[in-house]
Structure 1
Amino acid sequence: MNRIDALFARLRSEDRRALMPFLTAGDPDLETTSALIREAFRRGAHMIEVGIPYSDPIADGPVIAASYQRALDRGIRLGPIFDAIGSLRGGEGGPAVDGPMVTMSSYAIILRRGPRRYLDEAKAAGVDGLIVPDLPVEEAGPLAELVAERDLRLIQLITPRTPRDRAAAIARTTTGFIYYVSVAGITGERTELPTDLADAVGWLRSQTDLPICIGFGISRPEHIRALAPVADGLIVGSAIVRRLDDGDGQGREGLVDRIGAFIGELAGALPS
């Protein structure tokens, strides 16, 4: 069974929620990214979203966009990212990492690599699914077929502005889980989240049996506590990436411990 499916099957049977941190691959370097992935799982994360740096991010706010640029400026490229994930799966440098990992990638990167080659390399590395935010549902069919052939999952996004007929179509073609964008606009930390979020997710549940994971704007333990009753998973990105940038220069060990402590705090806010 695909690791994503196995995770949500287990969590649902236990009436628990998933915590899904986002990390930009190669920011500040791939060795630190690998150490952060290990630490995140150790501190209570259930799945890791690995951002593939891209020079023209689609929905990412300034914090994540800046992290992409830092990684690109340091020469981070797709091949070494897959190598790093494969090393984690193989247990190089520490215990083998078995938790689900998904890539967040522009479709332009996949096209440049060649969809079959990208998916083959992702599968060989131990990636479990893909989030492709700039791939319209009307054009997703060919990639979805290639993904299914490799027992990977194609996770698609639904936003508050997505018309309901389109949202239903996205839900029918998505696999793994639905990424529900909590707010219209780009990623970033927010003090408050929309009051109608529960109603929107409730309607979406009437359209699909897939897990629904909420992202964009989640940055505090209180957000986790507020959204856990309506979500199957909570995705935290900018709040982690900002802390990484703020801690630049303190050394890998200190940085990993600092981010790990924050992830542990978020995990502690999940209902047990």
Structure 2
Amino acid sequence: MTNPTPGPTPAAGTVERHLRARRGTGRGLLMPYLTAGITPGWTDYLRAFAAAGADAIEVGLPFSDPTLDGVTIQQAGETALARGASTRRILADLSAMPDPGVPLVVSTYYNLVLHDGPEAFCAALRRAGVAGLIVPDLPVHEAGELTDAAAGAGIELVLLASPATPQPRLAEISSRSRGFVYAVSLMGTTGERAALAASAAGLTGRIRRVTDRPVLLGFGISTPDQAREARRHADGVVVGAAVMRRVLDGAGPDDLRVFLATLRRALDAGSQPGV
């Protein structure tokens, strides 16, 4: 099937400009994830992530029914909620922290967006210094209202694609996504895995055929070797469960900086010709 001729590409926002610029240097992109409110000084982790070489940071708003998340992220969300974490408190914490120097992308479920309404929610994100938004349970054909609200607030709404996404729908997702396209490496929930899913290569290849927007591969990226392999197919990786397992086990910001630095080196090595 022939893909429709794309229309004019909208001007890239903060997230996409930043990722494109870093990709343009040959760099593999690294976006670690943190469940917001997980510890009293949780924003210290964000600064450590940036110091370790993160190109963007995903900040998860804890939700009581995280259907796409595995055990680790579920436990992290429960821990944060038990501490009294809420959207308003989290955004207040983000507003109070120094600029980390890389874009912050909030991820959450659509229920939390609807609680205040898309326009108010996106405006609150912008005031807190957030540049992007991921809503994994929002399908592209129902994303119109949030797309408009996000654009009006200057927030880049990132859409997800999976190995089961048909090619025409994949083209639509790639066209309507902002910031980057989030490639879900396998059908399933988040979590650490022993190897990169075989479906990852095919999915990223199909996305690349319909867009030059940055493609980040997530779900199951846990080790430097997996990050290096993922870099062969995608522009970079999203690392969540491997980070949060360490946080839940008591690792502090400096410990996570060391861990993420190993992923940074792996991505850099994977960006070298012939590697």
Equivalent residues of 1:58, 1:133 under 8 A apart: no
Mapped to 2, the partners of 1:44 and 1:8 lie a distance apart of 13
Identity percentage of aligned residues:
38
Offset from partner CA, 1:192-251 (integer Å, 9 cap, x none): 12234223211211111211100000000001111112211200000010011111xxxx
The equivalent of 1:268 in structure 2 is 265
* 2-structure distance, mates of 1:154, 1:243: 28
2:33 matched residue in structure 1: 22
Unaligned ranges ≥5, structure 1:
248-253
The reply on whether 1:256 has 2:253 as its aligned counterpart is: yes
- Tell me the equivalent position of 2:9: none
Cα distance, 1:101 vs. partner?
0.4
Give the conservation status (yes or no) of the 8 Å contact 1:228–1:271: no
Structure 2: any 5+ residue segments left out of the alignment?
1-11, 270-275
1:9 aligned partner, one-letter code: R
Q: How does 1:205-220 map to 2 (within 5 A)?
A: 205-220=208-223
Q: Secondary structure at the match of 2:27?
A: coil
Match of 1:52 in 2: 61
Secondary structure at the residue paired with 2:267?
coil
TM-score using structure 2 length: 0.90
Q: Which moved more, 1:35-44 or 1:194-203?
A: 194-203
Report the AA paired with residue 256 of structure 1.
Answer: P
The 5 A counterparts of 1:188-207 are 188-207=191-210
Q: Deviations over 1:100-141 (max 9, x none)?
A: 000111010000022111111100111001000011111101
Letter in 2 for 1:112: H
Partner of 1:112: 115
SS of the equivalent of 2:120 reads helix
Equivalent residues in 2 for 1:25-36, closer than 5 Å:
25-29=36-40, 31=41, 33-36=42-45
Name the CA distance, whole Å, in 2 between partners of 1:191 and 1:238.
13
Once the two structures are superposed, the pairs formed by residues 66-105 of structure 1 within 5 Å of their partners are: 66-88=75-97, 91=98, 96-105=99-108
Q: CA deviation at 1:87?
A: 1.6
Residue type at the aligned position of 1:86: S
For residues 178-193 of structure 1, the aligned pairs below 5 Å read 178-193=181-196
Correspondence for 2:127 among 111, 124, 128: 124
Aligned pairs (5 A) from 1:237-256: 237-247=240-250, 255-256=252-253
**C-alpha RMSD over aligned residues:** 1.4
Report deviation, 1:166.
1.8
